[in-house]
Every structure is written in C-alpha cells, then in structure tokens.
Structure 1
Amino acid sequence: MSSAAELKLSRVLGLAKKFNNFYLTGFQKGDIRPFLVEGQQCGLIKSDVLKQLVKYPEVFCIRDCEHTKQGLVELNPAFRDYNERTQQLEKVLRNLRSEGLFPALQGWRDEYFEVKSEHNALLKMERAATPLFGVRKYGVDINGYVIHPKHGLCIWLQQRSNTKETWPGKWDNMVGGGLSVGYGIKETAIKEAAEEASIPSHLVKNLVSAGCVSFFFESRQGLFPNTEYVFDLELPVDFVPHNADGEVQAFELLPAKECVERVFTPEFKTTSAPVVIDFLIRHGHITADDELDFTQIVELLHVPLQSLYTYKTRLEQMQKLQQQKLPNDANNCNCPNLPPVRPLENGHKKAA
C-alpha cells in the first residue's frame, strides 16, 4: 500500500473516533450521573444540566450512592405512570426552554421520542431535550444507491435545508429520520422516504434491512447515544429524488470514491457518517486488506450502548438492604416526602 493510500484510509479511523468522542473519552471526565426512571437507568446527565435540575426537587431526586462517585439523578418515583412522568418532565423542560440556558432547547420541535428501559416505554420526551438527559435515541437511514454503467456504485446524498434545527446546510444520507412516538421502524423508513425524497411505493417496497449502527457522540447540544436502523435501496439509474417536506435543499449522486471524500469534509453531518462507512464496508469499498485499523473501525460502528446503561436500580438496592435489615438511603435524596415502598405479589417493589 502506498503512503498516500495509508494516509487516506487512516482518516476512516479518525472519523470513527470523532463520532464516538464521548464513548472514548467522555466517561473519564467524571462529571456525569446516571438518570433513572422507575428504578431503571435510561440516561446520563452532565454537571451543567444537573445545576438546573436541582432547582426542581419535586421532580428530580439528586442523591449520593455507593456505586457512583458522582451520585445519581432519579425522576421522582411518586409519579406513577407514563402520562404523569411525561407531564411533570414537560413542565421543567418548558421552563428551561424559556430561560434560554441550553442551545439544544432552541431547536424545540413538538416532536416526541420515547424514553425506554429495555422494551418498556417509561415516558415521552421532546426530541430537542433528549441530548440533555443522554437518553438513547433511535432513527432510520436509507442508503439510496445506483449501479451506474459507467461509474459503478454511486450513492445519493441530500443537502439539508438551511432552516433545519440541527446541522443546517450539511450533507447527509439520502433519507433519514428519528423514531417518533407512535411509529415503527419500517413505517418510519417508508414515511421518510416519501417526505424527504418522494420515493414512490413501487420502489420503496424494495427496501432491504441492513442491520444497524450505534455510536456515542457529544457536541455543544449534549449527548447522542444513537442507534440507527439501516436500510439499503437500489434505485434505477434514471430516478432522481425530489424533496416534499421542505427539509432538503438539494440531492447529489456521487460515485463511491467521491462520496468517501465528501464524508470527510466539515460540510458532512458527523452523526450520519457511520451509516455511510458501514455501507462502504458492506459493499467492499473499505476492506481489511486496505485498512490496517479495520476491526477497530467496525467495532466503533457498533458501540455496545446497552452495556453503558446498567446501573443497579434503586428498588433492587432497597430490596437487598431490607433483606439484610439495613437502613436504606432514602434520607440522602432531595425529594420531599418520598413515598414508602411496598412489596407486590410478584416480588417487585413499587411506590405505595
């Protein structure tokens, strides 16, 4: 391999480290706390956000614990169900938005993502606020490509509208969108294909599921522990996408080599780069024979986010302490009048 080729390919690893900047270095800073809902960890909160949440002791319990040096943040367990948790959190978020303290909230969309623990939906949260709480986010991306008779593999990219709340004017995958409340994965892919690129039903039915990528990025907006469900869609050579929802200002079809170069530029959306790299690997344009750091790159496309949200729950700890007849740590919580804990028939414990 020539030195020029080595230099070029080494940029792939550099880019993979860039969109995993928090995963690689963020936990070492020591300024994050687990965020718990119903005793389950579903997020991470940094110190700048924590400074504001302490102003709402009726909503958030800020307490010390033996398992984390910084302690933890818990949504008040007195909130009994999905709707009450959502409403109480929404009040805080709207207050923070009105105060103009966080850039992320200036992109308020009135679009909601579900906050989940494994497969259980605990509440819904305004999309713009999710980076402040480090909750896992899910989306879909479609790689639209063409096998061109002259240029070979070519990939469609979109240029985001300059009025987009996030990454305005940046180049992006042909189609992409977040999983909003009430929509499934394939359903979201089909919806976004129609809205962003006007892909007709007789073509979109050829969508091929290609797994997912996951990464953990941090920006001035907050934390982005993202999982993107990926679809491939081969398109006719004469098909040209057209935007229908005003969120895209242009499309461009690029040969694979030119697409790689575009991804490395500051004009490309950083958090969409994993999808393009994954596509190029699967189609043989980035290989282990050419890339010395190939295995590390692949691993950074599939960060095990689930292993980062495994803090032992408060209820489990209390159960163990009660079994050992030791006092619990409720007095270390700043929530006023925490409800007592009572056993249920199935052995779990819940606020009375």
Structure 2
Amino acid sequence: MSSTEVKLSRLLGLAQKFNNFYLTGFHKGDIRPFLVEGQQVGLIKSDVLKQLHKYPEVFCIRDCEYTKQGLVELNPAFRDYNERTAQLEKVLRELRSDGLFSALQGWRDECFEVKSEHKALLKMERAATPLFGVRKYGVDINGYVRHPQHGLCIWLQQRSNTKETWPGKWDNMVGGGLSVGYGIMETAIKEAAEEASIPKDLVKNLVSAGCVSFFFESDQGLFPNTEYVFDLELPVDFVPHNADGEVQAFELLPAKECVERVFTPDFKTTSAPVVIDFLIRHGHITAEKELNFTQIVELLHVPLQSLYTYKTRLEQKLQQHQASLPNDDNNCNCTSLPSSPLENGHNKKEAA
C-alpha cells in the first residue's frame, strides 16, 4: 500500500466523525420528534426537553402508549407562520437569558426557516436550531486554481477568532447559511462578495456541483445539514480578501496538502464534507486509492429529507393494526394523527 493510500484511508474515520449522530444518535433513546402543524421538523434531546416543560402554553409534550415514543409539538393553537414564530422566539430569548445552552451564546439575530417539505412553517433564530434538530441549509464555494507548478490547488479561509462558532478554524473559501429571504444562488453571490471580495466578472463563473448532507452532533446540539456546493475556478494571480470581518486569513494549498489540513483539529469538522466531495469529483480521491470509497461517498449524502418521517411511520403502523385496536381515544393521545383532535398546551380541545 502506498503512502497516499495510507493517508486516504483516514477518510472513512473523518466521514464517520461528521456523521456521528446519523450513525449512533438515533439509537440512544433520548430524543423525541419535534412537530409543527402535525409534521415532524426536528428532534429534541432530553436536556432541551427538560427546559421545554416550563412552557406548557407553547409546547405539547406527551407520551404515546402505542409507539412507546413521546413527542413534542408546538402548540397547534398557533395558526400561522407569524404567530408560531413570535411564540417560539419568546421562549428562545428567555432560554438565552438563563444561559442554559452554549448554542444560544452565539445569538446572531439571523433566522432560518423551518419547513415541512416546501412549506415554511415558522422562522427560528439560527443559533437555536441545534437545540431543536432542525434541518439547516447553506452554501459553500470551492475556490480552486489549476497551478502550472503545483497542479490542482484549493483556497481555504481561516475563520475569525471572534466568530460565534468554530473560531480560528480553517474552512472552505466561502460559506454561509440560507437565511430567511435569500435564495441559493443569491446567497452564494452575497457570501462570495462579503467573505472573499470576488468580483462580478469572476463570480459569474460559479458552477453548481450538487450538494452534500450529513448529521453531526456536538455539545451545542444537532446539525442535520445540507450544503449546496459550487465550484469556482480562479485565475492564478487572484488573491481573495475579506470584506466583512469574519475571515482573518486565506491560504492556497495543493490538493494533497489540503487533505492533510482537513485531518487536523484546526479544520472545521462540518466543512470537511465539502472538501472531500470536491476532491472526489476532481479525481484526487478515487476508488483505486481509497478502500472505503463507496462508504465515504454514501456518508457525503445522508438522506436527511427522509429521516424525519415520524408521522408517516406512525400512520403506517396504525393502519396495519387498526382492526385489532379498540375504538378508544385513550389508547394513543398522539397529536400527529390527523384523525385525532389536537390539544393545545393547556390540554383543552382545539376549537373546530
């Protein structure tokens, strides 16, 4: 085995690291589905659940005898996007004041939308999304150069030491979350200008390269992330520079050195999938060089869109056993069923 193969064999371990929750978290038994308008939009761990019990007017927290799994539902009495958003934000601001969760220390006054399929149900402060296991979406740009001496080279940024998350870590050249009101390409162009001062005559050459998805867990919470990926070939003499104060350095690395940087603790773990995906697509990481190539590729595309299927799975189970269940509402007081009346946080029947 060549030295290159030895180095690349570490990739599977790295892919398992940024998918630590996907691989092991669902089996821990300390999570509950989070529902809004009867649709699962996230997952809530026991430490967060403990605090949500303080807000019965906002959250319906109940067990389900039939499924042996409880759930948390945003009060179904909140009828529209704005009311749901306002009621949830009151809770989040109080939790932030209490200083109970490190994730909320990075409060940004920037919101992500919480969706069921394509329908936006509410918006949530970005820093709070890990507490509710809400799917998040972002944009990453691989800036690269075909260098005459060094071959394929990749631009990396070093995040500012004042960043709320991953301060001082190395990262992709450009990256940013999809905030409320911004589209995918719109975000890519905005972040390219803010983070790397890429001019319009170059940013027009952005090439969509699909997406990567992974499910990571840290001490701040759950990160079911989908990143829309773009490639941007840059002139050899172009040097990015930061315009928004969120980046403290840039460095151009040959592909082999970039792989080594990704393996270090100085690199942002949740940005590693974007670099690995780029190196696979550009032929630097191949099945011939990497024994676990297929597993790695799969772990770059975790099926996040089909993981939150609590309602579907419950309905299927009920349909299978409906004939054997007595007609008694006390068997299952689960609000995810459309045929059962929903209850608000005060345990009163919802008005028709």
TM-score (normalised: structure 1): 0.92
> 2:210 matched to which residue of 1?
211
> 1:348 matched to which residue of 2?
none
Q: State the Cα deviation string for residues 102-158 of structure 1 (Å, max 9, x = none).
A: 000000000000000000000000000000000000000000000001111000000
Given that residues 151 and 254 in structure 2 are in contact (C-alpha distance below 8 angstroms), is that contact kept between their aligned partners in structure 1? yes
Report the alpha carbon displacement of residue 247 of structure 1 after superposing the two structures with TM: 0.2
Q: Do the aligned partners of residues 216 and 269 (structure 1) sit closer, same or farther apart at CA in structure 2, a change above 3 Å counting?
A: same
Aligned length: 339
Q: Do the aligned partners of residues 313 and 12 (structure 1) sit closer, same or farther apart at CA in structure 2, a change above 3 Å counting?
A: closer
> 1:301 matched to which residue of 2?
300
> 1:111 matched to which residue of 2?
110
**Which moves more between the two structures, 327-336 or 121-130?**
327-336
> 2:78 matched to which residue of 1?
79
- Note the residue ranges of structure 1 that are not aligned, 5 or more in a row: 341-350
- Note the residue ranges of structure 2 that are not aligned, 5 or more in a row: 336-342
> 1:286 matched to which residue of 2?
285
> 1:347 matched to which residue of 2?
none
After superposition, where does 1:19-38 map in structure 2 within 5 Å?
A: 19-38=18-37
- Report the 3-state secondary structure (helix = DSSP H, G, I; strand = E; otherwise coil) of the residue aligned with 1:70: coil
Distance in 2, matches of 1:48 and 1:127, equals 19
Q: Which amino acid aligns with 2:107?
A: W
Q: Which amino acid aligns with 1:99?
A: D
Distance in 2, matches of 1:105 and 1:221, equals 9
Report the alpha carbon displacement of residue 67 of structure 1 after superposing the two structures with TM: 5.7
User: Does residue 1:170 correspond to 2:177, yes or no?
Assistant: no
Aligned-residue Cα RMSD (Å) equals 2.1
Q: State the Cα deviation string for residues 17-55 of structure 1 (Å, max 9, x = none).
A: 000000001111110000000000000000000000011
> 2:156 matched to which residue of 1?
157
Q: State the Cα deviation string for residues 190-220 of structure 1 (Å, max 9, x = none).
A: 0000000000001000000000000000000
After superposition, where does 1:86-235 map in structure 2 within 5 Å?
A: 86-235=85-234
Q: Which amino acid aligns with 2:89?
A: E
Report the alpha carbon displacement of residue 70 of structure 1 after superposing the two structures with TM: 3.4
Q: State the Cα deviation string for residues 297-337 of structure 1 (Å, max 9, x = none).
A: 000000001121011179979x988xx95426449978214
Q: Do the aligned partners of residues 151 and 41 (structure 1) sit closer, same or farther apart at CA in structure 2, a change above 3 Å counting?
A: same
Which runs of 4 or more aligned residues in structure 1 lie more than 2 Å from their structure 2 counterparts after TM superposition? 4-7, 66-70, 313-317, 328-335, 337-340
> 2:346 matched to which residue of 1?
336
> 1:327 matched to which residue of 2?
329
TM-score (normalised: structure 2): 0.92
- Report the 3-state secondary structure (helix = DSSP H, G, I; strand = E; otherwise coil) of the residue aligned with 2:141: strand
Report the alpha carbon displacement of residue 64 of structure 1 after superposing the two structures with TM: 1.2
Q: Do the aligned partners of residues 201 and 65 (structure 1) sit closer, same or farther apart at CA in structure 2, a change above 3 Å counting?
A: same
- Report the 3-state secondary structure (helix = DSSP H, G, I; strand = E; otherwise coil) of the residue aligned with 2:210: strand
Given that residues 63 and 333 in structure 2 are in contact (C-alpha distance below 8 angstroms), is that contact kept between their aligned partners in structure 1? no
Report the alpha carbon displacement of residue 230 of structure 1 after superposing the two structures with TM: 0.1
> 2:54 matched to which residue of 1?
55
Q: Which amino acid aligns with 1:264?
A: F
- Report the 3-state secondary structure (helix = DSSP H, G, I; strand = E; otherwise coil) of the residue aligned with 1:36: strand
Report the alpha carbon displacement of residue 69 of structure 1 after superposing the two structures with TM: 3.1
- Report the 3-state secondary structure (helix = DSSP H, G, I; strand = E; otherwise coil) of the residue aligned with 1:167: coil
Distance in 2, matches of 1:66 and 1:86, equals 30
Given that residues 210 and 229 in structure 2 are in contact (C-alpha distance below 8 angstroms), is that contact kept between their aligned partners in structure 1? yes
Report the alpha carbon displacement of residue 287 of structure 1 after superposing the two structures with TM: 0.2
Given that residues 156 and 254 in structure 1 are in contact (C-alpha distance below 8 angstroms), is that contact kept between their aligned partners in structure 2? yes
Given that residues 16 and 300 in structure 1 are in contact (C-alpha distance below 8 angstroms), is that contact kept between their aligned partners in structure 2? yes
Report the alpha carbon displacement of residue 9 of structure 1 after superposing the two structures with TM: 1.5
> 1:13 matched to which residue of 2?
12
Distance in 2, matches of 1:70 and 1:46, equals 13
Report the alpha carbon displacement of residue 65 of structure 1 after superposing the two structures with TM: 1.6
Given that residues 197 and 241 in structure 1 are in contact (C-alpha distance below 8 angstroms), is that contact kept between their aligned partners in structure 2? yes
Percent identical residues: 88
Given that residues 62 and 334 in structure 1 are in contact (C-alpha distance below 8 angstroms), is that contact kept between their aligned partners in structure 2? no
Q: State the Cα deviation string for residues 165-191 of structure 1 (Å, max 9, x = none).
A: 000000000000000000000000000
Q: State the Cα deviation string for residues 66-125 of structure 1 (Å, max 9, x = none).
A: 464330000000000000000000000000000000000000000000000000000000
Report the alpha carbon displacement of residue 10 of structure 1 after superposing the two structures with TM: 1.4
Q: State the Cα deviation string for residues 243-284 of structure 1 (Å, max 9, x = none).
A: 000000000000000000000000000000000000000000
Q: Do the aligned partners of residues 84 and 257 (structure 1) sit closer, same or farther apart at CA in structure 2, a change above 3 Å counting?
A: same
- Report the 3-state secondary structure (helix = DSSP H, G, I; strand = E; otherwise coil) of the residue aligned with 2:138: strand
Distance in 1, matches of 2:308 and 2:347, equals 28
Given that residues 40 and 313 in structure 1 are in contact (C-alpha distance below 8 angstroms), is that contact kept between their aligned partners in structure 2? no
Q: Which amino acid aligns with 1:297?
A: I
Q: Which amino acid aligns with 1:338?
A: K
